[in-house]
Chain A
Amino acid sequence: MSDVSIWADVAVAVLGGAVRVGTPFLFVSLGECLTEKSGRINLGLEGVLVLSAMAGFAGSYLTGSAWAGVLLAGVAGALLAALHGVLCSLPRVNDIATGIALMLLGAGLAFYLGKPLIQPQAAQIPSIELGMWSSSQQVQAALRINALFPLGVGLAVLMSWALADTRWGLIVRMAGDSSDAARALGYSVNTVRVLATMAGGFIAGLGGASLSLYYPGSWNEGLSSGQGLIAVALVIFARWRPLACLGAALLFGGAGALGPALQSVGIGWGYHLFNAVPYALTLLILVWTCSPKRSLQGAPMELGVSR
């Protein structure tokens, strides 16, 4: 194989991986975006992701239907996120600390309840073949797209519209930008935030289902390694815009696919280093976008992380 075709293969694999690896990023970052728009940061989405991946796999395994699994994953995510929302509504309870606690609790519950699920196979989410026009195996593999991905794209568009142009979107943004204004208009800030956190947890739960039911497509304890946290940084990078979350998720998906893509063409050196690229990229983006002198542009005013 010539050098050129090797790099072409890597490029195709990275592009395909952008969608495959990026789908969970997309859902988690949309969920986080909604939560943060209401004025709270939920680091516990990492725990939500693990728990919902387990719940999704269990649902699919027990009912035989992948979509039942997806629904169960969303519900599990919403329940854990509801715990975050309610805890943070108590006086003097810090949302970042609560997120750390839920990371631990979500992983613990998922590993505990998911112990019997490590071996079996479950029904997978179907894929959409967009690469039938090409005769190349690699292109076909790259364009075999997770059926949840179009759903995520639709959700990003819907959220972008709903946050900007609907009454509910306005209420969520008001709770995030000025809790005084929301209170003055007679809305309970805590209720709005709990509901937004729950909805965010449901959306993030779909990302968990994508992990265990599509790619990698099985349940094990190392399934999620920080995707939930990367999503938090990704939302900052996307400046709290749902459509920008889509682009950021694809970028991170591509970065995450780099290690396996290089390994597939026989470049094994630095496998772990290439796997760490998304974290390094996130950190670089944070260093680049943050500044000690001003708060972040576009950030909800009530958000702890932007103060």
Chain B
Amino acid sequence: MSDSRVAAVFDSVVLPVLALGGAVLLFGGFVWLGGTSPTETWVLLFKGAFGDSFSWQNTLQRAAPLMLTALCVAIPQRAGLMVIGGEGALVLGGLACAGLPYLFAPPPGLPGTVMVLLAGALGGAAWIALVGVLRQYRGVNETISSLLMGYLAIGLFKHFVEGPMRDPSSLNKPSTLPLEDSIRLGSLPGYDVHWGLVWGVVACVAAGLWLFGSTHGFATRVVGGNARAARLVGLPSHRLIIVACALGGGCAGLAGGIEVAAVHTTANASLIAGLGYTGILVSFVARHNPFAVIPVAILFGGFGSAGSLLQRRLDLPDASVLVLQGFAFVLILASEALRGRMGEWLTRQRMVRAERAAAHETSRVRLTREQAALDAARKEAA
């Protein structure tokens, strides 16, 4: 392996793994302060996430929306925007998905499912595209506007769910009318994991292929890497950025649609569970690479499913997963400081080696020269 290859692997694989390992260690220390055994916590963390087929299914179930909300950060990030309003796009996507049957009755079966999911994706896409429009045409910082719009979306969601769209029979927990049985998203045959996982994986792979394998994706990355260079070569940066935002928002909206169509069957407050915020973390750990989002989302889905086990067995608060995520996020960012260091170190090592070799060479040359001079002197003496 060449030096640059080693350095790249170190930066993109070893550093995040070290940071995550550090977060798990730190979390053990944190629960230890509260009198809980860290080893037991670590064992349960693993068991609850990947211990048996039941926890695997739970993990994968939770990973599906995380993949999609992570894309809502990763795709705009590649176009140079740090959009963190995935939560808003998710709840509006869920609302749109549950709301489509209010407008007209979707056809039963698969076409109906696809239609309600597309409605969710469109809702999310329009919401985040607006963030891109505000940023490009009005110069509004996208991080702040997307977060504010997240709170706005939740306000709209609650208004519609508890007001005009409320199912009169939902008494304690205001909800919309449930989706028909035939258009709900079912489980994969033989498993207790719904089809949302497939949608999530397909979206990640498609986003990766688009970003790294197509001209349009390349242009988007150029805009994100250097906006001035993109303008100089005449790329339509406004359009590329807004399309990237819409695609990211569409993924988060799809996540909301899937949660409604597969898990809750109606839009209600259970949808507002912070999946959008965890997606931000997933995208950062995956270094905003759609392919890497898949395993990272599975890992964090695992932490999520282990959280309920920790709560049951060790009586830890349900926020313990949030603490673990917080530690992971801080350490991932801190590890940025070490990025590129491996490459520098390897280069330095190679230079030292080359210098030593050069020094070695010169000393050998000198020896030969001295030897030749000695020989010449001997010959003369003889």
Instruction: Say whether B167 faces chain A, with CB atoms less than 8 Å apart.
Output: no
Find out whether the CB atom of B156 lies under 8 angstroms from the CB atom of A305: no
Asked whether A93 and B336 contact (CB < 8 A) given A83-B330, A105-B330, the answer is: yes
**Interchain CA distance A105-B141 in the complex, whole Å:** 23
**Which chain B residues numbered 317 to 358 have a C-beta less than 8 Å away from chain A?**
317-327, 329-330, 332-334, 336-337, 339-340
Interface string of A287-305 (1 = CB under 8 A from B): 1001111000000000001
Asked whether A108 and B323 contact (CB < 8 A) given A115-B317, A233-B148, A273-B155, the answer is: yes
Can you give 17 A-B contacts (C-beta < 8 A)? A90-B334, A93-B336, A96-B143, A97-B333, A100-B143, A101-B333, A102-B330, A105-B329, A108-B323, A111-B318, A111-B319, A225-B151, A226-B148, A226-B151, A273-B156, A283-B140, A283-B152
Q: Which residue of A lies closest to B341 (CB)?
A: A91
Instruction: Say whether A87 faces chain B, with CB atoms less than 8 Å apart.
Output: yes
Find out whether the CB atom of A290 lies under 8 angstroms from the CB atom of B139: yes
- Nearest CB on B from A195, distance (A): 20
Asked whether A272 and B151 contact (CB < 8 A) given A101-B326, A112-B322, the answer is: no
**Interchain CA distance A233-B148 in the complex, whole Å:** 9
**Interchain CA distance A275-B151 in the complex, whole Å:** 10
Q: Which residues of A contact B163 (CB under 8 A)?
A: 269-270, 272
Find out whether the CB atom of B140 lies under 8 angstroms from the CB atom of A101: no
Asked whether A105 and B333 contact (CB < 8 A) given A230-B148, A287-B134, the answer is: no
Q: Which residues of A contact B316 (CB under 8 A)?
A: 112
A-B contact count (CB 8 A): 141
Q: Which residues of B contact A100 (CB under 8 A)?
A: 84, 143, 280, 329
**Interchain CA distance A271-B160 in the complex, whole Å:** 11
Asked whether A93 and B333 contact (CB < 8 A) given A108-B323, A112-B319, A276-B152, the answer is: yes
Find out whether the CB atom of B151 lies under 8 angstroms from the CB atom of A111: no
Instruction: Say whether A92 faces chain B, with CB atoms less than 8 Å apart.
Output: yes
**Which chain A residues numbered 192 to 235 have a C-beta less than 8 Å away from chain B?**
221, 225-226, 229-230, 232-233
Instruction: Say whether B96 faces chain A, with CB atoms less than 8 Å apart.
Output: no
Interface of A is mostly: helix
Which of the residues A225, A273, A286 comes within 8 Å of B159, measured between beta carbons? A273
Instruction: Say whether A43 faces chain B, with CB atoms less than 8 Å apart.
Output: yes
Q: Which 3 A-B pairs have the closest CB atoms?
A: A105-B326, A276-B155, A108-B322
Total interface residues in chain B, CB < 8 Å: 49
Interface of B is mostly: helix
Q: Which residues of A contact B320 (CB under 8 A)?
A: 112
Q: Which residues of A contact B281 (CB under 8 A)?
A: 101, 104
- Nearest CB on B from A56, distance (A): 18
Instruction: Say whether B104 faces chain A, with CB atoms less than 8 Å apart.
Output: no
**Which chain A residues numbered 9 to 30 have a C-beta less than 8 Å away from chain B?**
none
**Which chain A residues numbered 82 to 126 have a C-beta less than 8 Å away from chain B?**
83, 87, 90-94, 96-98, 100-102, 104-109, 111-112, 115
Instruction: Say whether B145 faces chain A, with CB atoms less than 8 Å apart.
Output: yes
Instruction: Say whether B378 faces chain A, with CB atoms less than 8 Å apart.
Output: no
**Interchain CA distance A276-B155 in the complex, whole Å:** 6
Find out whether the CB atom of A305 lies under 8 angstroms from the CB atom of B141: yes
Instruction: Say whether A42 faces chain B, with CB atoms less than 8 Å apart.
Output: no
Instruction: Say whether B95 faces chain A, with CB atoms less than 8 Å apart.
Output: no
**Interchain CA distance A123-B134 in the complex, whole Å:** 45
Instruction: Say whether B313 faces chain A, with CB atoms less than 8 Å apart.
Output: no
Find out whether the CB atom of B137 lies under 8 angstroms from the CB atom of A292: yes
Asked whether A104 and B322 contact (CB < 8 A) given A225-B151, A286-B140, the answer is: yes
Contacts A100-B143, A104-B281, A108-B326 supplied; 13 other A-B pairs, CB < 8 Å: A97-B333, A101-B281, A102-B330, A105-B323, A107-B322, A112-B317, A112-B320, A115-B319, A276-B156, A279-B151, A279-B152, A283-B149, A290-B138
Find out whether the CB atom of A275 lies under 8 angstroms from the CB atom of B155: yes
